[in-house]
């Protein structure tokens, strides 16, 4: 890959991030508006089961799966002793997609007004997922150094 492509990685990842986060954040905004209008939705079944299920989904999608994917990507890099820019971009896009999905269970937990422990835990896990995938230029440059991309 050319040096120009390496310099375009942050802007490419920001575009991917903004597009991926648009729909889940609109969903969360809609749920907040429903709360402001005092519209309550009662889930079918036991509210505690919903709280636990949504909390586990948010933590899995916002924290556990991204850590697992980062670790497996890094171990694969160590075994192969190299990674291409396209593999790195695909890895980052997958992380962004997974973490953007974590906002959905958090939104549903807020919509159903589950127990505060599960609701705020779900929201924190989703926020962690979003924050961990923010494509800051310094973070990307450090990762490119770790994977020895862009060096001749």
**What are the average pLDDT values for consecutive 10-residue runs of the chain, which has 152 residues?**
68 93 92 89 88 94 94 86 84 93 91 89 93 91 82 54
Structural tokens at position 78: 């160590």
Question: Given this model, what pLDDT does residue 4 score?
Answer: 46
Rounded CA-CA distance 65/129 in Å is 10
Rounded CA-CA distance 49/36 in Å is 25
Exposed / middle / buried, residue 146 (Cβ in 10 Å: 0-12, 13-18, 19+): exposed
Q: Does residue 39 come out as left (phi exceeding 0), alpha (psi in the -120 to 50 range) or beta?
A: beta
Question: Given this model, what pLDDT does residue 151 score?
Answer: 61
Question: Given this model, what pLDDT does residue 60 score?
Answer: 95
The enclosing H or E element of 31 equals helix 3-36
Residue pair 112/41 in contact (Cβ under 8 Å)? The answer is yes
């Amino acid at each position: 890959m050319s040096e120009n492509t390496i310099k375009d990685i942050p802007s490419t990842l920001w575009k991917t991030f903004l597009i991926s986060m648009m729909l889940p954040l609109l969903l969360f905004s809609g749920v907040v508006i429903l709360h402001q209008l005092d519209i309550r939705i009662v889930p079918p079944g036991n509210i505690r089961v919903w709280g636990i299920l949504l909390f586990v989904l948010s933590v899995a999608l916002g924290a556990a799966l991204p850590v697992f994917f980062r670790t497996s990507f890094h171990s694969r890099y160590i075994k192969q002793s190299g990674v291409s820019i396209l593999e790195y971009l695909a890895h980052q896009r997958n992380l962004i997609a997974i973490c953007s999905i974590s906002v959905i269970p958090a939104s549903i937990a807020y919509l159903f007004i589950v127990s505060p422990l599960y609701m705020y835990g779900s929201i924190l896990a989703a926020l962690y997922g979003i924050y961990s995938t923010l494509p800051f230029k310094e973070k990307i440059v450090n990762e490119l150094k770790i994977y020895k991309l862009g060096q001749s």
